[in-house]
Structure 1
Amino acid sequence: MPRKDQIRNRRRLLQAAREAFAENGPEASIEEIARRAGMGATTFYRHFPTKDDLVDALLDELGEGARQVAARAQEQADPWAAFSLMFTEACVLDDGDLALFDLLGQVSPPSAARAQAITAEVIAPVVERARAAGRLRGDVDVADVAAFMRMADSAPPRHRRKALEILLYGLAAP
C-alpha cells in the first residue's frame, strides 16, 4: 500500500504532466514536468520509469469516465440500447481533456497503441454485441464507430447531440 506522500506526489506529477503536455505538446520534458510538480527527476522516475509510463497513466486516467459508461452499457439487456448509451455518452471528456487524450496518443508509438487499446476496450464489447444481435450494420467495425464518435465530438457543442443522433441512426442495421 503506497504511503500518503507517495500518492500525493504521484497525483502532483500527473497534474503537472497534464498542464505541461497541454501547453507544450508531446515535447514536454520529464524535467519540466518534475519542476512543475515541485520535485526532482529522481522522484519522477520512482513513479514513472519512462515517459511512456507517465503517458499511459494519463491515458488511463482520462479513459476512466468512458470505462464507467461502458460498464453501464454492459448492464443494458438490449444490445442496441447498450450501443446507443455507449455511443452517445462514452466521450465524457471536456474539450480540453479530449484534445489532451488525442495529443497523448501521438507522443510515441506505444502511447498510440495504448490510446487505441483504451478506445477498443470501451467500444468493442458493445459493438460486437450489437452486431451479433443484427442491430448494428455489419459493415461497421470498432474503428469506424470510434471515428464516428470523434466526428460528433468535433462538432460545436450545440450541434453534438444532433450529430450523435444522426450518426446513430445511420449505424443501425436496415
Structure 2
Amino acid sequence: MAHKHDKIIANYKSIGDLSSILSNSREDYILDHLNIHLHKGQLKLLEKIKKEQKPHHKAIRMKKYKELMNNDEATPEHFELHQKIFINKIKKLENKGLIKADFEVDLLPYEVEFTEKGKEILNEIDVLKQKWEDEIFKDFEDKDKLLTYLQQVAPKAAKISYARIKKQKGVY
C-alpha cells in the first residue's frame, strides 16, 4: 500500500528536496539497524572523525589550530564555548566505547582514535549504507546513469561546502 506522501513526493521538482529525503532516509535506516543506539548528530560526528583520521585532513587541522593559537585576532568569537560543546560531544562517543580521546595534545585541541568497538561500528555502518542503497534501488534500472550524473554534480556541491569550511576559523 502506498504511503499518503508518495504522490506528493513523486511530484517534487526540487533535486535538493529529493536528495534531502534520500539523505535522511539513509541516516534513519542506519540508526534503525545499528547494533548501538546513536543520535543523528553522533552518526555524523563518527563520519567526521573518520575523515579527520586521514593524514591530509589532520595536517589541515594542525595548521588551522597553530594559526589560531599564535594569533588572538584570528580566534573566532565564542571559540572556547564552541570547543567545549564539541568536546562534550566527543566525550559522549567516548563514553559509548567507540573512541578514545586525548585532550592533552600539543598541536590540536584533541586527538581521537577509534576503539575496536568503534571500528566494528564503522564497518557495520558501511554495510548498512550498502544495504540501504540495495533496498532503495532494487527495481531501478538506470542506477548507473544516475550515478554518472551525481558524479558530475557532486564536485560542484563539494566546492560550496569546502568554501564554507575554509571560512570557519574554529578547529573542532
Q: Do Structure 1 and Structure 2 share a fold, with TM-score over 0.5?
A: no
Report which of the two structures shows the higher radius of gyration computed on alpha carbons.
2
Greater strand share, structure number: 2
Greater helix share, structure number: 1
Structure number with greater CO (CA < 8 Å, separation at least 6) is 2
> TM-score, structure 2 length as denominator?
0.30
> TM-score, structure 1 length as denominator?
0.29
